[in-house]
Amino acid sequence: MSKMNKAPEISTVKVSPRGAARLKDGHVWVYRSDIVSADGVPPGSLVSVTDHRGQILGTALYSSSSQIAIRLISREPVHDFPAFLRQRINDAIAYREPFIQDTNAYRVIFSEADFLPGLIVDRYNDILSMQILTQAMDAESVRETLLTELAEKLHPDSVVERVDPRVRQLEELPPRASGLLQGEKTSTIFSMNGVQFNFDALQGQKTGAFLDQRENYAAAAQYAHGEALDVFCYHGGFALHLAPRCSHVTGVDSSRPALEVADQNASLNHRDIEWIEASAFDLLKDYAHSGQQYDTIVLDPPAFAKTKRDLDAAMRGYKELNLRALKMLRPGGVLVTCSCSYHVSQNDFLEMLADAAKDAHRSLRLTEVRGAARDHPLLLNLPESGYLKCVIATVT
């Protein structure tokens, strides 16, 4: 082929003044209601975005079905999409190099926050777990580029895809099963902060673990002491980190399969931890009534506010949990309390905590107000990329 070959023409999507203002303000999404014209634009294609006057605003990935019609990938023209993808993967890897220490499990690519909207890649030692969340990232040619580059740079034994059927439905993509994309290995052992975890790439929640809590585990362990209770413990992430510092650790979760893995993890690390299968709300209520006390309590519930409409109920849920925990903490006790609901802001969360402390007649000193681990960066102009709050406080 001659060098004179022109890059393939890409379609243009015109956005309303409101959509344009949003992009100019630094956000990277334009909703369908702000699309002026996208006639004949193929689903999942790379597009040039213009305002209603035709001024070019950047290059984006287009979805024909999602409410988020446009996800900007660059403010510049993109002529060679595969080369662009390879560069972004390398940038994401390089970004993490300075602080990825003491772990072989971390998020390699975090969608918009790594300027690769719709792509999540987590590394669990020698297995990569990948989630594809948009039409554009699902294209066969894009998948091929991603897999080739990730294999070349990270040398995994295998790559597994975790499919969210609801996302595929929303994106009007054909159904697809979770499974291996490369290699044969589906289970391994990974380690973070010197703690080891069993990993089964085709089981469990999210891509298999809550990697966003990695740095919070280590932070919590610094202050943990005495008798500890890890509520919503899943595979024991907090419990296992607290164990070396505490005289006794109990983990609580309503999921038996999660507790089975937690127990295997305890054996793997030669730790003696008590696991209780129960509803956290019922258990905390019973324990509070029976006067049970602890020196360290971790609360890491699932997202209570999945949408804005759930916010009031969610805040009541958070308050109930925190109030009960505060009542059960001995003086000098440590509360590690988290929320992964995007709709609950850090301020909302701190206000709820202040309220709970007031009702429990306890004073709380904030030791640390934290977010997700640094491999889950928050894109400032995309508040949606920040969701995890983790507060460590001391009770008097």
Q: Does residue 77 bind ligand SAH (CB under 6 A)?
A: no
How many residues belong to the site for ligand SAH (CB under 6 A)? 18
Cβ proximity of 56 and 78 under 8 Å: no
Q: Would you say the C-alpha torsion 100, 105, 109, 110 has a positive or negative sign?
A: negative
Q: Does residue 95 bind ligand SAH (CB under 6 A)?
A: no
Binding test (CB under 6 A) with ligand SAH, winner from 302, 331, 332, 383 = 302
Q: Does residue 258 bind ligand SAH (CB under 6 A)?
A: yes
DSSP classification of residue 230: E
Q: Which residue is nearest to ligand SAH (CB)?
A: 237
The tokens for 24 are: 């100019």
Q: Which residues, 194 to 233, sit near ligand SAH by CB under 6 A?
A: 210, 213, 232-233
Q: Rounded to an integer, what distance in angstroms lies between the CA atom of residue 22 and that of residue 253?
A: 41
Stretch that binds ligand SAH, among 140-148, 174-182, 249-257, 376-384 (CB under 6 A): 249-257
- The residue length of the chain stands at 396
Per-residue binder mask for ligand SAH (CB under 6 A), 281-300, x = binder: x------------------x
The tokens for 361 are: 């007649």
Q: Which residues, 261 to 280, sit near ligand SAH by CB under 6 A?
A: 279-280
DSSP classification of residue 171: T
Q: Any idea of the CA torsion for 22, 112, 65, 150, to the nearest 10 degrees?
A: 150
Owner of token pair 């630094």:
26
Q: Does residue 390 bind ligand SAH (CB under 6 A)?
A: no
Residue 233 is a catalytic residue: no
Kindly tell me which of 202 and 278 has the beta carbon lying closer to ligand SAH: 278
Q: Does residue 324 bind ligand SAH (CB under 6 A)?
A: no
Q: Rounded to an integer, what distance in angstroms lies between the CA atom of residue 336 and that of residue 298?
A: 5
Q: Rounded to an integer, what distance in angstroms lies between the CA atom of residue 325 and that of residue 313?
A: 19
Chain contacts with ligand SAH (rule: CB under 6 A): 210, 213, 232-235, 237-238, 253-255, 258, 279-281, 300-302
Kindly list the catalytic residues.
340
